[in-house]
C-alpha cells in the first residue's frame, strides 16, 4: 500500500506541482512585448489569476478543520473496531 501511495504521489506531484512551480520560469516580459506588438491598443479587460495567495488562508483553515473532523471520526471508528 505504502509503495502505491509513494509512487502515485511522486508521479502526480512531479507533473502538477512542478508545472505550477515552473511557471515562474516563463519570461512574462517577452509575453507582454509580443502582446503589445500584436495589439497596440487593447481594450480595458480583467486579468484573472486562478489563485490569489492572500485569499487562501481561510480556505486552508476551513479545509484543515474538515480534515480534523474526518480524522477524529476515523480514529474513533478504528478504536471501536479494536
Partner 1 sequence: MEGRAVGCDVSSVGIRAAAATLALVAEALWLTATFEAPDASSVPQLQWLVALFNDAYHRRAAILVGAAFLLLASHDIRRTLGVLRDQVGYLWWPWVAAHGVALLSFALLTSIGFGTFTGVPALSVAWAVAWIAAGTLTFAFWLLVLAPAAAWLRVLRLQWLNLVLALAVSAAAWAGGLVLQNLWEPLAAGTLRLSGLILSLIHPGAWYDPADGLEYGRVGTESFVIEIYPVCSGYEGIALVTVFVAAYLWIFRKDLAFPRALALFPIGIVTIWLANVLRVTVLILVGTFTSPEVAAQGLHSQAGWIGFTLVTLGLIAISHRWLSSAPAETGTDSPQSRRPELPLLLPLIALMATSMIVAATSAGFSTLYPIGVVITGAVLWHYRAAYHTLFGSWSWEPFAIGTLVFAVWVLFVPTSSGEGPSTVDRLAAWPAWLATGWILFRVLGSVVTVPLAEELAFRGYLIRKLVAKDFEQVRPGHFTWFSFVTSSLLFGLLHQHLLAGAIAGAAFALALYRRGLVGDAILAHMTSNALIAVAVLAAGQWGFWA
Residues that bind partner 1 (CB under 8 A): 1-2, 4-6, 8-10, 12-26, 31, 34-35, 38, 43, 45-52, 54-59, 61-63, 65-81
- Residue 17 C-beta: closest distance to partner 1, Å: 5
CB 35 within 8 A of CB 42: yes
The DSSP-derived string for 2-21 is: HHHHHHHHHHHHHHHHHHHH
State how far the Cα of 65 lies from the Cα of 9, in Å rounded to an integer: 23
- Residue 40 C-beta: closest distance to partner 1, Å: 13
- Residue 7 C-beta: closest distance to partner 1, Å: 9
Amino acid at each position: 500500500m505504502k509503495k502505491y501511495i509513494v509512487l502515485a504521489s511522486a508521479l502526480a506531484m512531479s507533473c502538477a506541482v512542478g508545472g505550477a512551480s515552473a511557471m515562474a520560469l516563463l519570461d512574462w516580459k517577452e509575453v507582454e512585448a509580443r502582446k503589445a506588438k500584436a495589439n497596440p491598443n487593447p481594450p480595458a479587460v480583467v486579468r484573472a489569476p486562478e489563485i490569489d495567495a492572500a485569499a487562501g488562508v481561510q480556505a486552508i483553515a476551513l479545509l484543515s478543520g474538515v480534515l480534523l473532523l474526518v480524522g477524529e471520526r476515523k480514529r474513533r471508528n478504528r478504536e471501536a473496531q479494536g
